[in-house]
Amino acid sequence: MLCESLSPSPVSYACILKACGSLGDLNKGEQIHAQNNQSLFQKGKMLANALLDMYIKNGALDEAQEVFDNLLNRDVASWTLIIGCYAQERQGEEAVTLFERMQCEGICPNSLSFVAVLRAYGNTKASECILAVHSQVHGEPLYKKDIMISNALINAYMKCSLVSKALELFNDLAIKDSVSWNVLISGYAQVGHSEEALSFYELMETAGFSPDPFTYACICKACANLCAVYQCQQIFTNIVNDGLFQRDIVTSNSLLDMLSKCSMLKEAHEVFDRLPSRDIISWNSLIAGYAQHEHFAEALTCFEQMQDDNFAPDAFTFASVVRACGDLGASSKGQEIHVDMVKYGSLETDMVLGTALVHMYATFGMLGEAQDVFDKLPFQDSTSFNALLTGYAQSGKIEFVIELFSKFIEYNIKLDSATFSNVLNMYIHTGLLEDAQLYFKTMVEVFITLLTIDHFNCLADLFGRAGDVEKAALVIKEMPFHSNFAAWITFLGACQNCRHAKLGRWAFENASELTEKDAAAHVLMSNIYAAISTYHMTGAGL
DNA sequence: TAAGGTACAG
């Protein structure tokens, strides 16, 4: 058109901007924006909104906000576009604020505005607001397009785990479309009601709706939650038969993730090899699958291959490989990856990664590095504090443990049950009985709710190792849990060391009540008797 | 010839 010297009209521009939005061609869109008189985009609502939409579809939030701010006449579409933009970007609070501002400025929201704000309400778990919208639209005549509001409502309810409200609305729908089924199934999968997700998938097919990529993503997630191998195979077959495996990357990634999570790693790798195209999510799913099932070397091999294939690792990749390095004890590779994480800026934006790194260095016993990463975190939360404390405890750095623990008390940081076990185990290995008792006493006073039977078993173990089997017995008798096999077998070991036949017999009988014919219990008990008879025979007497 | 609901990775 331009070659033939025709000047584009506002209509041409609107069409071209729409194309830039759906193709993801931000450069072309920016070019059109820059080459024209800015008044073109400020006055006419249609073209201004087309430009706004182009920036939003390209994920250019700042530019979208700027276009919106410079608009002279904002109509309901302009407001809805920017509200939808923030709702989609998980900036729900911002979206809700804009929704309120829009009404203050005298613009009345329409169906589409409600759909946009419902997404924000769902993401921010604003259940009261969702209920308010629901009662507002309730009883209004249901036009066909308003099925979108119903679907958005079901989705928002599910995001707040209001499962029965979502189901009630779904059942009351006069007309359902495939999105209605998808949001319901997706909701069940997200709240962890995976069986229901699969049941509604069956019902959906019975009702005559074919699964689409959205449906497959949801049921793959449900199957992954359940580790349902048989159903995995069924879905795998369906996806291949539908031809979606070749056509839709989200579906193939969902499939890949499902197979990985269900330990079907061989199948996952085959699917990966057969993919017509791959993206970063395909790589991350495969790497995560290997890391989650402790195939750490394979995880790291894939990580190398991914980079050879010119994919830059992101926060998801790092999370898997950091764990793999830690568990493999691959400290130099781990440090290399740390450098990459700094290079890509992943650490500044992601708390999970920082904590994973603290944990990795703690596993290597490189506590200086662990402390350094911890100190540089954007903020320290309970998870990162626990990772650091565990590191010090596992390395037996008592003075650091004591110092850090006092910070837990001072700043009211929630102590993790597993961290507490690690600290107790440190005391077991250092044999500092008095310090351990003091620590346990503080635990009872400050963190009583997280005490488990394992912690009491640790305390009994401490006394047993110190040779005080009477105190150990008292802990077992008086702890607020039913003693388990682990408690008795540890205690029996302590009785063996002290050659305490009476308490040993007591432990043996209790252990036998819980588990019959356990070899370890019999060996320990017979050792006690053998030791005592040797003692008699050597004339030492009892 | 402007806006819309559902989906995949730590």
Contacting residues 253-272/A vs strand B (CB within 7 A): 253-254, 257, 261
Reported as a single tens digit per residue, the pLDDT across A369-421 is 999 999 998 888 888 999 999 999 988 898 998 898 888 888 888 888 888 88
- State the nucleotide closest to A349 in CA–C1' terms: B10
The answer to whether the C-beta of A350 is closer than 7 A to strand B is yes
Q: Count CB neighbours of A468 within 10 A.
A: 15
Q: Over 90: is that where the pLDDT of A37 sits? A: no
Task: Report the alpha-carbon distance of residue A223 to residue A259 in Å, rounded.
Answer: 9
- Those nucleotides of strand B lying less than 7 Å from any protein Cβ are 1-10
Q: Choose the weakest-confidence range: A196-200, A282-286, A345-349.
A: A345-349
Q: Over 50: is that where the pLDDT of A542 sits? A: no
- Residue pair A344/A314 in contact by the 8 Å Cβ criterion: yes
Q: How many residues does chain A have?
A: 542
CA A116 to C1' B6, whole Å: 13
Task: Report the alpha-carbon distance of residue A459 to residue A442 in Å, rounded.
Answer: 13
Task: Report the alpha-carbon distance of residue A129 to residue A151 in Å, rounded.
Answer: 16
Is the CATH code 1.25.40 the one for domain A452-542? yes
Task: Report the alpha-carbon distance of residue A90 to residue A119 in Å, rounded.
Answer: 9
Mean pLDDT of the A78-84 span? 94
Q: Is A89 helix (H, G, I), strand (E, B) or coil?
A: coil
Task: Report the alpha-carbon distance of residue A347 to residue A376 in Å, rounded.
Answer: 9
The answer to whether the C-beta of A153 is closer than 7 A to strand B is no
DSSP state string for A163-204: HHHHHHHHHH-SS--HHHHHHHHHHHHHTT-HHHHHHHHHHH
CA A275 to C1' B8, whole Å: 14
Task: Report the alpha-carbon distance of residue A42 to residue A281 in Å, rounded.
Answer: 39
Mean pLDDT of the A115-136 span? 92
Q: Over 50: is that where the pLDDT of A503 sits? A: yes
The answer to whether the C-beta of A495 is closer than 7 A to strand B is no
Task: Report the alpha-carbon distance of residue A244 to residue A137 in Å, rounded.
Answer: 37
pLDDT, position A536: 66
Give pTM, 2 decimals: 0.81
Q: Over 70: is that where the pLDDT of A219 sits? A: yes
Q: Over 70: is that where the pLDDT of A538 sits? A: no
Task: For nucleotide B2, give the residue with the nearest CA to its C1'.
Answer: A46
Task: Report the alpha-carbon distance of residue A182 to residue A154 in Å, rounded.
Answer: 10
The answer to whether the C-beta of A511 is closer than 7 A to strand B is no
Secondary structure letter of residue A146 according to DSSP = G
Burial readout A17-37 (b: 16 or more C-beta within 10 A, e: otherwise): beebbeeebbeebbebbeeee
Task: Report the alpha-carbon distance of residue A49 to residue A47 in Å, rounded.
Answer: 5
Task: Report the alpha-carbon distance of residue A94 to residue A88 in Å, rounded.
Answer: 11
Secondary structure letter of residue A73 according to DSSP = S
CA A121 to C1' B9, whole Å: 25
Mean pLDDT of the A353-362 span? 93
Task: Report the alpha-carbon distance of residue A112 to residue A49 in Å, rounded.
Answer: 15
Can you list the alpha helix ranges (DSSP code H) found in A191-309? 194-206, 213-226, 229-241, 244-247, 249-261, 265-274, 280-292, 296-308
CA A243 to C1' B1, whole Å: 35
Task: For nucleotide B3, give the residue with the nearest CA to its C1'.
Answer: A77
In whole numbers, what is the pLDDT of chain A averaged over residues? Answer: 90
The full set of domain ranges for chain A reads 176-277, 452-542
∠ Cα A359 A361 A365 (to 5°): 110
Residue A128: partners with Cβ closer than 8 Å, 6 or more residues away: none
Task: Report the alpha-carbon distance of residue A170 to residue A94 in Å, rounded.
Answer: 29
The answer to whether the C-beta of A250 is closer than 7 A to strand B is yes
Mean pLDDT of the A295-322 span? 95
CA A54 to C1' B2, whole Å: 10
CA A350 to C1' B1, whole Å: 43
The answer to whether the C-beta of A245 is closer than 7 A to strand B is no
> What is the CA A302 to chain-centroid distance, rounded?
22
What are the C-alpha distances in Å from A314 to residues A337, A340, A350, A505? 11, 10, 11, 58
- For residue A353, what pLDDT band results from cuts at 50, 70 and 90? very high
pLDDT, position A541: 42
Task: Report the alpha-carbon distance of residue A436 to residue A472 in Å, rounded.
Answer: 14
- Residue pair A471/A463 in contact by the 8 Å Cβ criterion: yes
- Residue pair A169/A184 in contact by the 8 Å Cβ criterion: no
